Structure 1
Amino acid sequence: MQAHNKQAMAGITLAALGVVYGDIGTSPLYTLKECFSPHLGLLPNEANVLGILSLIVWGLILVVSLKYLSFVLRADNRGEGGILTLMALARRAVGSKGWLLAALGLMGGGFFYGEVVITPAVSVLSALEGLEVITPSFKPYVLPIAIAVLVGLFVIQKHGTASVGKLFGPVMMLWFGALAALGVHGIMGNPAVLSALNPAWGMTFMLEHQAVGFLALGSVVLALTGAEALYADMGHFGPKPIRLAWFFYVLPALMLNYFGQGAEILADPAARANPFFHLAPQWALMPMVILSTAATVIASQAVISGVFSLTRQAVQLGYLPRMEITHTSDKEIGQIYIPLVNWGLLFAVIAVVIMFQTSSALAGAYGIAVTGTMVITSILACTVALKQWKWPVWVVAPLLVALLCVDIPLFAANVVKIFAGGWLPLLIGVIAFIMMSTWRQGRKLLMSRLNEMAIPLDGFIENMESYSPDRVQGTAVFLTNSTHGVPHALLHNLKHNKVLHERIVLMTIRSEEVPYIETEKRIEIERLSNSFWRVMAYYGFKETPSVQEVLDLCETQGMQFELMDTSFFLSRETLIQTDRDGLAPWREKLFVWMSRNALRATDFFQIPSNRVVEMGAQVEL
């Protein structure tokens, strides 16, 4: 039994290696190259090389090992992680005063969208630029090959990644093994680079270079990109396999490779143009280009899957309009595909590749979104520790200060990159934040306006039972967000058709701030009168609602539905802008546009389209 458990843990750890560590695992392709790029003007001498290596190594230890793996991974929402999950936890712990935490969480989510546009572009380009090390004649082909690889990556998304996903773990295991082997090969030429484990080298470098040292942090942080993925992917694997993979395989491989690259730069200063590929022997260059391309495709796949998951969470939590979500696996609930996001990302990534041309130019844009998310994660995680875990203030306050003492300098060093391309992920993050916050506020305003127009439900039911209009055979299901007012579709049906069905079911589908709801807690049925019933259905933010599933669960509790004898009534609101207090005029326009382009409730809730009746209603915002 114990042997079986160990075997299962080894399998999960291997899978985690393939999904979780793709982004941070491909950072050696470009991190040290950017630290010694011409714009910083650092000489490749011993003090500078060891200083930069020390900053990278201690960044990995402090940010990834201590902050994320030892602290942040504790903040799980029923096993799930990620910035929106952390926001939901913090808001629940604080209560009604959590609007600032919600804003921070949305900004973190927006930053993640910005990061996802840059990650595939910079990773794939940096891998294929190894061809230039083989021979400069390959240079004209790097860009078109990169675009072809990226297009292929996004095209296969609709088929799911279950089949190729089985290769992710073994390929990344081979990748980290190659990183370690190349690193050892370089270290053997100059073992003195291992002295960079002493943090004094990093501190001395920062004291001596000051302004340039501060700017260098903007390149050092490239070694930490992907740290947020450790937390976001916790729900797929659990914290233990993620920690095991990091401490026993990923961290040693990364450290060895960075040390090896440092030794190569000291041996041949010209190697700083691309130290990763210069570290490989001539015979291994082409295999390393192929392996690194495969690794960067896997890293890109991980962040694309992450943005699909984040988008579904945002839809379910009410921060984005309904959109088409397709499940690509019958077995894995987490494997989803969102066409709108996929093709939007492809367009953005290709535009970024064409705009920036090289991985060095893209590296200038990379980092600001990552470090912004790091700062937000520290604040939210410490809020959870204080309010939910009930840690004492004298523990949480110094912890927050210590975390921010690392995060804020890294973020500040990246802010200066704004004019070198950092504006791009920042712009994407701000646009995503505006859209999510506008949708949330717009839906609140819409519900307020609908409630103003609503007739109290209790009195209406009593009236209908006492003075009933003509009744027709069958069941009418009215989908409604409100549990107090009469659904507008019901009023319009009564007004125009002047009839009621024999049985009327008021169905409300609620999204909760937890990832999953147990099947036995999914529905609540309440009989309101002889012919009126209420069905409440609850879904987590990692689940996709299904009316058919709700009907099936109702049958297990004795409430039968004959589908061919059941009609579903939905209210389709036409929104009209007004001068009334509410949203700013430009946000009203944005909300109306998003509403018009939202997926129809019929499709989102998987209601049989031939059983649906939509009743129009005009609402003045």
Structure 2
Amino acid sequence: MDKTHDAHAPQPLGALTLAAIGVVFGDIGTSPLYTVKEIFGPGGVPLDHAHLVGAVSAILWSLMLVVTLKYVVLILRADNRGEGGVMALTALAAHAVEGRAGLRAGLLVLGLFGATLFYGDSIITPAISVLGAMEGLEVLAPSLHDWIVPLSLLVLVALFAVQRFGTAVVGRAFGPVIVLWFLVLAVSGLHQVLQQPAILAALDPRQAASFLIDRGPGVLLAVGAIVLALTGAEALYADMGHFGRRPIQLAWSALVLPALALNYLGQGALLMRDPGALENPFFRLFPEPLLLPALVLATLAAIIASQAVISGAYSMTRQAIQLGYLPRMRIHHTSAATSGQIYLPGVNWLLLLGVLAAVLHFGSSSALASAYGIAVTLTMLITTLMTFFVVRHAWRLPAPLAWGATAFFLAVDALLVAGCAVKLFDGGWFPLAMGGALFLLMSTWARGRALMVRSIRADGLALDDFLRHLDTGAVPRASRTAVYAVADPATVPQALLHNLKHNQVLHERNLILTVRFTDTPVVADAQRAEVEPLVPGFWRVTLRFGFMETPDVPAALQCCAAQGLPVPVFETSFFLSRETVVPTDGAGMARWREKLFAWMSRNAGSAASYFRLPDNAVVELGTRVQI
């Protein structure tokens, strides 16, 4: 979900905790639908008393070590002015090693790859969650098996179709529904545990250790299934900015962890009594009269889990655009009161195509499970690496402590990645291929923009020299304010040259405007605008926005008044240059990447719309740029 920046009034801890339960924990909360089934499925762990205790113990202690210790206790403290997630953490880590250019560049590349993996998660989570819920139909009536995929497709199409209306109304229902879901998880699990209390031996961590050691070379296959219980852990950190650290920690400790633990224990207890329940151990927890309500609730939980990553994909895309890794896209604001509630049509329909392709290609939650883990575990590994640089270089913790904690969590992450890597050819390639393609697009855009700015600077006129030699008295003046947007504030905007050449006119007041996006989530109004007088009638203005903010240029220009430059919006014209990129032979990028960048540039969204400029006050002028 997305950050609300314009509603800073503190909310009660209880309300925030309820909201956090609805948004943050949907993904990890639907893992019981398929995790145990995958561990003991065909070719998996033998289904007997010792292995049931060991496997459930491994799940519980994975939740304790990875989610509780790593994320809830440690990583939630690594916030970027309240924001979390791999891109916010990347900016924080890069800032911590500011003086080491090579290391900083490497961290940015690593963080960018971590961000691309999130999109793989945004496709697989809706597919596996909805399929896992719909597979309850087969338990309800075996004859309904053929309806699982069609109904899953129908639910997913409906889910993506309603995105354009915003999630404000649905969002208010998320918390109570997911609270009910976790209570049902807890009660259904506890019922089975009371009938087979021998499963409580799984609370002993030695059972988990013995289970993993006894697997020998087969431990990776077991770990690749156990990791399914951890999918969604990254959301605890990614969504921290929406709710704060304490509500997430409270929700996890008081409700989510106990409910998950009881349900996994309950599934283990059920399989001890009835090995035949392996067909679908989650839905077999419920007596037949409760199967239909359980199926409905599981479907709602799956939709909510899907909604969280879909909204997260919108938010991630906006961050990537503002940090310079993606071209501008059309962004719809679905709430007048909440700036963070956004909808990106292009991202929405691309995600839907990916989700439908995943459902049709894999066909079941078991098949999708092979593709699920590797993107999640690689993101966890990247998060651990990034956190080290924050802990060591920003927090200045002692080297032995920083290295020791990082080595421990890296070892755990490496085991999880290895466990998922053995399924590379069974579906693990899917999120990696998607991440690789997105990484290519994002790195090409960032490199292309840098080359374009360099070309403009090389071919353009130096602004200071131009203004020094400009005979302003000989040029007629229009009685308005002109704002010339430019990527490089040291060169003369092409739109200004066109205005002089074709219209032979200057405005009374001319602002050379550059918009910068910072590596912090939000910029305070006091730091929003920087005004530099040049010559009479000319000012250089720099506006700064955080990577989580909506760049509203007309509103931000009002901050210039505090520095002696009032900008009357209704008497202002905005001149924009629309660059046409011309690929050329040279040392910039490979020719095919230059053509790819040119195509992305042609299809980028309107700058006027993105910066919320008034339609009737914008003049766009074209210019050709060779790279």
**Correspondence for 2:51:** 48
Distance 1:376 1:436 in 2: 18
Q: Secondary structure of the equivalent of 1:365?
A: helix
Q: Secondary structure of the equivalent of 1:534?
A: strand
Counterpart residue type for residue 41 of structure 2: S
Question: What is the 5 A alignment of 1:395-474?
Answer: 395-465=401-471, 468-474=474-480
Distance 2:10 2:495 in 1: 57
Distance 1:203 1:607, change over 3 A: same
Question: What is the 5 A alignment of 1:197-346?
Answer: 197-346=203-352
**Correspondence for 1:126:** 132
- Deviation readout 1:71-100 (Å, 9 max, x if unpaired): 111111110000000000011111133011
Contact conserved, 2:554 with 2:569, CA < 8 A, in 1? no
Contact conserved, 2:220 with 2:420, CA < 8 A, in 1? no
Q: Among 493, 496, 506, which residue is 1:500 paired with? A: 506
Shift of 1:206: 2.1
Q: Secondary structure of the equivalent of 1:80?
A: coil
Q: Among 78, 81, 86, which residue is 1:78 paired with? A: 81
Distance 1:46 1:479 in 2: 70
- Deviation readout 1:111-141 (Å, 9 max, x if unpaired): 1111110000000110111111111011121
Distance 2:407 2:519 in 1: 28
Distance 1:468 1:538 in 2: 35
Q: Among 511, 522, 525, which residue is 2:517 paired with? A: 511
Q: Within the alignment, does 1:20 sit opposite 2:24 as a pair?
A: yes
**Correspondence for 1:356:** 362
**Correspondence for 2:543:** 537
Shift of 1:533: 1.4
- How many residues are matched? 616
Shift of 1:549: 0.8
Q: Among 62, 66, 71, which residue is 1:68 paired with? A: 71
Q: Which shifted more, 201-210 or 379-388? A: 201-210
Distance 1:287 1:6, change over 3 A: farther
Shift of 1:273: 1.7
Question: What is the 5 A alignment of 1:90-239?
Answer: 90-95=93-98, 96-97=101-102, 98-239=104-245
- Deviation readout 1:489-544 (Å, 9 max, x if unpaired): 21222223332222211111110111011122211222212111122111000011
Contact conserved, 1:172 with 1:295, CA < 8 A, in 2? yes
Shift of 1:563: 4.5
Distance 1:468 1:71 in 2: 65
- Deviation readout 1:401-459 (Å, 9 max, x if unpaired): 10011000100111111111111111111111111111111111111111101211112
**Correspondence for 1:576:** 582
Distance 2:491 2:366 in 1: 58
Q: What 5-or-longer segments of structure 1 have no aligned partner? A: none
Q: Which shifted more, 61-70 or 131-140? A: 131-140
Distance 1:154 1:303 in 2: 12
- Deviation readout 1:465-506 (Å, 9 max, x if unpaired): 466433333222100122211112212222233322222111
Counterpart residue type for residue 239 of structure 2: D
Q: Within the alignment, does 1:36 sit opposite 2:40 as a pair?
A: yes
- Deviation readout 1:10-39 (Å, 9 max, x if unpaired): 111011000000000010000001001103
Distance 1:255 1:291 in 2: 19
**Correspondence for 1:587:** 593
Counterpart residue type for residue 405 of structure 2: L
- Deviation readout 1:19-77 (Å, 9 max, x if unpaired): 0000000100000010011032x221011111111111111000000001111111111
Distance 1:592 1:75 in 2: 38
Query: What TM-score comes out, normalization by structure 1 length?
Result: 0.97
Question: What is the 5 A alignment of 1:544-559?
Answer: 544-555=550-561, 559=565
**Correspondence for 2:92:** 89
Shift of 1:581: 0.5
Counterpart residue type for residue 116 of structure 1: S
Q: Which shifted more, 369-378 or 463-472? A: 463-472
Q: Within the alignment, does 1:365 sit opposite 2:368 as a pair?
A: no
Shift of 1:6: 12
Contact conserved, 1:261 with 1:275, CA < 8 A, in 2? yes
**Correspondence for 1:483:** 489
Counterpart residue type for residue 151 of structure 1: V
Distance 2:122 2:311 in 1: 10
**Correspondence for 1:604:** 610
Q: Which shifted more, 501-510 or 78-87? A: 501-510
Distance 1:58 1:467, change over 3 A: same
- Deviation readout 1:376-414 (Å, 9 max, x if unpaired): 000000111111111121111111110011000100111
Distance 2:471 2:399 in 1: 58
Distance 1:472 1:545 in 2: 28
Counterpart residue type for residue 24 of structure 1: I
Distance 1:296 1:567 in 2: 49
Q: Which shifted more, 10-19 or 561-570? A: 561-570
Question: What is the 5 A alignment of 1:2-13?
Answer: 8-13=12-17
Distance 1:601 1:302 in 2: 28
Distance 2:583 2:541 in 1: 33
Shift of 1:557: 5.3
Counterpart residue type for residue 436 of structure 1: M
Contact conserved, 1:602 with 1:612, CA < 8 A, in 2? yes
Q: Secondary structure of the equivalent of 2:229?
A: helix
Counterpart residue type for residue 69 of structure 2: L
Distance 1:584 1:453 in 2: 21
Contact conserved, 1:493 with 1:615, CA < 8 A, in 2? no
Counterpart residue type for residue 22 of structure 2: G
Contact conserved, 2:489 with 2:513, CA < 8 A, in 1? no
Q: Secondary structure of the equivalent of 2:371?
A: coil
Q: Among 43, 46, 61, which residue is 1:58 paired with? A: 61
- Deviation readout 1:265-302 (Å, 9 max, x if unpaired): 11111111210011111111111000010011011011
Counterpart residue type for residue 48 of structure 1: H
Distance 2:521 2:292 in 1: 44
